[in-house]
Structure 1
């Protein structure tokens, strides 16, 4: 269980950092910091997508055994 939380926290941090770097480097990509909840929702949606994809991959791998 500790590994799950550690991996989740690392992914959350890397997603947030990636969005911040994109905001700084890419023209046309902006984050409105006055609406911080949109940033949080985006990071959470990335996390949910990753977890669903990982669960599906683990299930498919278990079937092949």
Structure 2
């Protein structure tokens, strides 16, 4: 799932931030969850409801 994209087109800053299944390695800005969590999210999310992903620390 696309969380956001590089709207300013900053060279070298990547093209987008995604929510995806983890492979156990760190991401370069994406949010990675285990396969079971992704399956739950895909069943629950309704694009017509314009969902928002809020990322915070703490």
Structure with greater Cα Rg: 1
Normalising to structure 1: TM-score of the pair? 0.25
Higher share in helix: 1
Higher share in strand: 2
Larger RCO: Structure 1 or Structure 2 (Cα < 8 Å, ≥ 6 residues apart)? Answer: 1
